[in-house]
Amino acid sequence: MNTLIKAEKVCFSFKDEEENIKQVLKDFDLEIEKGSFVSILGHNGSGKSTLARLFNCLHIPDSGTITVEGLDTSVEENVFDIRNKIGLIFQNPDNQIVASIVEEDVAFGPENLGVPPKEIRERVDEALKTVGMYDYRRHETHKLSGGQKQRVAIAGIIAMQPDCIIFDEPTAMLDPKGRADVMKTIRKLRKESGKTIVLITHYMDEAVQADRVVVMDSGKIIADDVPQKVFSKVELLKSVGLDVPQPTELCYRLQKDGINLPDVLTVDECVKELMKKIAED
């Protein structure tokens, strides 16, 4: 697979409210391959949201380099092309919705890219169908629920047809139903489009749905592997203030009590292993 995003020796810092310099990333390295689904996990302040903004040129590294298909994010002439390749979904959809009518909001991005009107219509309709919001295309955006607004924001990015979509804690402000709807949309987008997906989250049940999980703490990567191997490091994750999926936690506690069980991620896997263990005994 080819590398889409590459961070090499990246350092980034900012001034807090008291004008103190806070270093967020130091000598940070990461590669994200085209077509992959990567979840970046970490508690608040770990640097994961800063990373999303660096990828999209909203921040520029103090030192080191970030490239998107070979384009350096620190070169001003590259910013337009990079933002065409990397779409960013924010935590709060109200920060991303710019129009009062759903279909007009989704059309905003393609219009600014100079896409012909006929193609804009096609892109808007297809994007809204992808996120399950086509029937709401003429609704007022301010009357939508939080989950619906987030799906409209996602449709707006889809309509711009980027190579990669970065979701920066897209479900953090949503209720359980809204969270489920957004994650369903992400899974559908991944399955049907094959786009590169980067999901930044602090929800374990969301992270396990990725092909690869990167765990950050204090601006550094402390784990990077497939979900099953990352979440098997229960003690490591707990040491940096993170939980593990509930089925993983249950099996971990049973293992500590001397019951030999494999590491699991989902409820179905947990039930299967417990039933197998009961049958053996």
Residues 238-265: pLDDT tens digits? 999 898 888 898 888 988 888 888 888 8
pLDDT at 17 over 80: no
Q: Which amino acid is at 203?
A: Y
Q: Where are the beta strands (DSSP E) in the chain?
A: 3-15, 21-33, 37-41, 63-68, 71-72, 86-89, 164-168, 196-201, 212-217, 220-225
Query: What would the mean pLDDT of 207-217 be, rounded to a whole number?
Result: 94
Q: What percent of the chain has pLDDT over 70?
A: 99
Q: What is the dihedral of CA 242, 245, 248, 249, to 10 degrees?
A: 60
192 or 199, which is more confident? 199
Structure tokens that stand for 249 in this block: 């936690």
Alpha-carbon torsion angle 31, 198, 239, 173, nearest 10: 160
3-state secondary structure of 60: coil
19 falls in which pLDDT band (50, 70, 90)?
A: confident
At residue 226, does pLDDT exceed 70?
yes
Backbone Cα Rg of the chain: 20
Q: What is the mean pLDDT of the chain?
A: 91
Alpha-carbon torsion angle 139, 140, 143, 144, nearest 10: 60
- The residue with greater pLDDT, 172 or 164, is 164
CB-based contact 26:11 (threshold 8 Å): yes
- Taking the C-alpha atoms of residue 11 and residue 63, their distance in angstroms, rounded to an integer, is 5
Query: In the prediction, which pLDDT does 212 show?
Result: 96
Report the half-sphere exposure of 20 (CA within 13 A, side-chain side). Answer: 4
Quick one: average pLDDT of 52-62?
A: 94
Identify the weakest region by mean pLDDT among 20-24, 125-129, 210-214. Answer: 20-24
- Look up residue 77 and give its DSSP letter: G
> What pLDDT does residue 158 have?
92
Q: Say how many CA atoms lie within 13 Å of 102 toward its Cβ.
A: 25
What was the pLDDT predicted at 8? 96
Q: What predicted TM-score, i.e. pTM, was given to this entire model? A: 0.89
- The answer on pLDDT for 56 being more than 90 is yes
**pLDDT bucket at 39, cuts 50 / 70 / 90:** very high
Q: Looking at residue 101, what DSSP letter applies?
A: B
Give me the pLDDT at residue 270, please.
87
Compute the distance between CA of residue 232 and CA of residue 145 in angstroms, rounded to an integer: 36
- Torsion angle defined by CA atoms of residues 75, 81, 86 and 88, in that order, rounded to the nearest 10 degrees: 80
The pLDDT value recorded for residue 106 is 96
Which pLDDT score is estimated for 1?
59
Query: Which CATH number is correct for 3-226, 3.40.30.10, 3.30.479.30, 3.40.50.300, 3.40.250.10?
Result: 3.40.50.300
Number of helices and strands in the chain (H, E): 11, 10
Question: What is the residue whose two structure tokens read 């109200």?
Answer: 94
Structure tokens at 185: 């949309």
For 168, the token pair is: 């920066």
**102 in Cβ contact with 141 (< 8 Å):** yes
- The pLDDT value recorded for residue 225 is 96
Domain ranges of the chain: 3-226
